[in-house]
Amino acid sequence: MQIRSTGRLAGVIGIGLLLLGTARASLAEPVPRPNILFIMADDHTSQAWGCYGGRLAPWVKTPNIDRLARQGARLTNCFCTNSICVPSRASILTGQYSHINGVKTLSGAMDPRADNVAKRLQKAGYRTALVGKWHLKKPPAGFDYWNIIKGQGRYHNPVMYEMDQTKPVVQEGGYSTDVFTGKALGWLDRRDSDKPFCLMLHFKATHEPWQFHPRHGHLYRDVDLPEPETLFGSTGPKGTLVPGWPLEILTERMSKPGHGDGKLELDSDDPKAVRRATYQKFVKDFLRCGAAIDENIGRVLDYLDKHELARDTIVIYTSDQGYFLGEHNYFDKRFMLEESLRMPLVVRYPREIKPRTVLDDIILNVDFAPTFLDYAGAKPPAAMQGRSFRANLAGKTPPDWRDAMYYRYYAGSRQRPAHFGIRTHDAKLIYYDGLTDRAEDRRWEFYDLAHDPHETRNAVDDAAHAEIIEQLKKRLGKLQAELGDAP
């Protein structure tokens, strides 16, 4: 039977429904300010995350990182503005480029008096905590609780400093990734639950020397991992201009105890065979370290589910920069080449971010602090140079969002010279300030990323690209002026 409401009766029913809806809306609880759980590893490059695909994806064991990507957003163009540990961490905390916050190299330190996102979150009513790798030398500031290692620390039985850098405590019988997670979850148990929290959990892994937990020693044992197409180099007239750190440095280092599960064993002195053997041990040890990170991310996610915190907690997982896994016959980072420049990043927040979101916008490490403050309902200070990407994550990218980014690496050497450059969505231009033996016009590299995503060909001398190169040089100068940098 079909019931129709017409005339006066329909009006009465309509008013009643409107009042009922208004009453329900008034009874609905306001959306709480989200908790912020920021998890960061050291050097855990995107090539070692299953959700980023690539040559290693079929072998990588990262189910919990992949889970975050499925349930939230995976960012494909998140970049570091200075690809080295200490400066990147300073930029994340301050929302500023290295030349503004003053932390330009590994020897830099974070001044406890300087403003940072943790201090701002405290003022906004958040409980704040930091556990794990700090690496900014002076005592952390802006955190209600901290428990850290000094410098690089060690993988096994880490020495930790709880609220006092003069009182070390050895965590006997513990593996750093497991220990840090346990300390972080312990703080969550003790925290004031009447206030939102910001917890920063920073792992030592996957930093060299990749000493993995024995429980992961079986991984990749009988596997030959695929090699990058540039394993045997891309330097020369049509390749990158700089030698970088070749795998042969690792051959020497891994021939001594201390890396992974033991010394590199060689059964040939053929240079190609040696490089291949070095690559296999290096990447397998790296991935085994990453397996512990993934397991502990799973511990954290299970904790949030158990305590009904998942819906109201933003979970971020990233690395302080990228890392070469044999590409261009390199290991380490520092360069503006893709593997080093890119910061892998996944973000989950069920209230705002749709599952399986893939975001291609150019996001920078200086954007993290303004984003955290945006979610906290706090206005970022004018001194922060980054910009919140909260709207981007929700599928509402502002029309004036950046389409190019600026990079600068300061600490130059002959093998890893100082350099700066610009990257757009489909092109990259690099100027090597530290190539003292080259004429001015031979310090440039240009890569057509649309057609050469692995940067195998330095096309700076190709006439077909002359116009775009000239445009990029002008845009580079404009970016430097806007950001207040003058190399």
| Amino acid letter for position 440 | E
Average pLDDT, the chain: 93
Distances, alpha carbon 150 to alpha carbons 72, 111, 168, in Å: 33, 16, 10
Give the global pTM.
Answer: 0.93
Q: Edge-to-edge strands of the sheet including 145-149?
A: 168-170, 159-162, 145-149, 127-133, 197-202, 35-41, 313-319, 345-348, 73-75, 357-359
Question: How many whole angstroms separate alpha carbon 188 and alpha carbon 201?
Answer: 12
Q: Calculate mean pLDDT across residues 180-201.
A: 97
Q: What digits encode the pLDDT tens for the residues 349-391?
A: 999 999 999 999 999 999 999 999 999 999 999 999 999 999 9
- 457 in a structural domain: no
Interacting residues of 343 by C-beta distance below 8 A, sequence separation 6+: 46, 78, 79, 80, 318, 319, 320, 321, 322, 365
Number of domains in the chain: 1
- 237 in a structural domain: no
- 6 in a structural domain: no
Strand partners, 421: 407, 430
- 50 in a structural domain: yes
CB 141 within 8 A of CB 128: no
Q: Calculate mean pLDDT across residues 87-104.
A: 98
Question: How many whole angstroms separate alpha carbon 70 and alpha carbon 150?
Answer: 35
Question: How many whole angstroms separate alpha carbon 247 and alpha carbon 330?
Answer: 6
Domain encompassing residue 175:
35-216+274-392
pLDDT of 31 over the 90 cut = no
Indicate the pLDDT class of residue 487, thresholds 50, 70 and 90: confident
Q: What is the pLDDT of residue 14?
A: 46
275 vs 22 pLDDT, higher one: 275
- 316 in a structural domain: yes
- 332 in a structural domain: yes
- 229 in a structural domain: no
For tokens 């795998």, name the residue: 247
Q: What is the pLDDT of residue 23?
A: 45
- 111 in a structural domain: yes
Q: What is the pLDDT of residue 279?
A: 98
Q: What is the pLDDT of residue 10?
A: 41
Give the CATH number of the domain where residue 105 resides. Answer: 3.40.720.10
Pairing assessment for the beta strands 427-432 and 419-424 based on DSSP bridges? antiparallel
Q: What digits encode the pLDDT tens for the residues 173-187?
A: 999 999 999 999 999
Q: Calculate mean pLDDT across residues 63-86.
A: 98
Q: Calculate mean pLDDT across residues 392-411.
A: 97
Question: How many whole angstroms separate alpha carbon 333 and alpha carbon 323?
Answer: 5
Q: Which of 323, 337, 338 is nearest to 242 (CA)?
A: 337
For tokens 């890569």, name the residue: 447
Q: What digits encode the pLDDT tens for the residues 213-246?
A: 999 999 999 999 999 999 997 766 678 888 899 9
Could you count the other beta carbons within 10 Å of the beta carbon of residue 160?
A: 22
Q: How far apart are the first and last CA of the chain?
A: 79
Q: What percent of the chain has pLDDT over 70?
A: 93
CA atoms within 13 A on the CB side of 206: 30
Q: What digits encode the pLDDT tens for the residues 430-453?
A: 999 988 777 777 899 999 999 999
Q: What is the pLDDT of residue 472?
A: 98
